[in-house]
Amino acid sequence: MTIERSRIDSPLGPIAIAVADRALCGLDFIDSEPRTDTGRRRPPRVPDPPPVGARPGPAGHRIAERIAAYFGGDVAALDDVEVAPAGTPFQLRVWAELRRIRAGQTRSYQELAAIIGAPAATRAVGAANGRNPISLVVPCHRVIASDRRLHGYGGGLWRKEWLLRHEGALPRGLFDGRGATLTSS
C-alpha cells in the first residue's frame, strides 16, 4: 500500500493529509501535537508532514478540494470523504459515530458514550476522540464537555472554537476551556 502525503493550506494553518487507496487515513494541523496513547509527544502514525511545496497527488486532490469547499463555507463538504482510520475496534466505533454528528451539532462525551452503547465509558470515548488520526473530517471538534465547555482538542481550543463558529454550532452559553462564556455572533 502506498501512502500519498501532501500539505494544504487552510485559514487555521497548514494541514498534512495522508491518503491510501483513495481513502483519507491521516489529517492533522501541522503545528499540532501528534495524537498519542500516553499523551507524550512522539512521532505521528503517518510519516512526518511533507515539505512546504508538496501538493496533493491524484488521490489527495479531491480531498483537498473538499477541504477547501468546507473552509469556503460548505460545511457539509467533508461528509462524503471516504476515510480509513487505523485504530482499535472501540476507537473505530467512536470515530464512526463522530461522522454522524453533522455540522452545526455538538454532542458531549457522555452522550457519545451512551450512543455507542457504553454509557460508563465517557473517559474512554474522550481518549478515543484524542487519538483520532483524521481530525476535521472525523469531526472530533464537535464533542464538548457535559458542562458545555470546550474541552480537549489536539489542534488547540482556539481552533475548536473557530470550527464550531464556522459551522454555526456554537450556541449561547457555551464555555471555552478557560472558563469564559462564548457568545454567538
Taking alpha carbons only, the member of 97, 160, 84, 164 closest to residue 128 is: 97
Cell (9 digits) for 163: 470550527
For residue 115, the Cα-to-chain-centroid distance in whole angstroms is: 19
- By annotation, the residues acting in catalysis are 140
CB burial of 1-25 (b: ≥16 within 10 Å; e: otherwise) equals: eeebbbbbeeebeebbbbbbeeebb
Task: Quote the CA–CA distance of 35 and 87 in Å, as a whole number.
Answer: 12
User: Which residue type is seen at 103?
Assistant: A
Location of C-alpha cell 474541552: 151
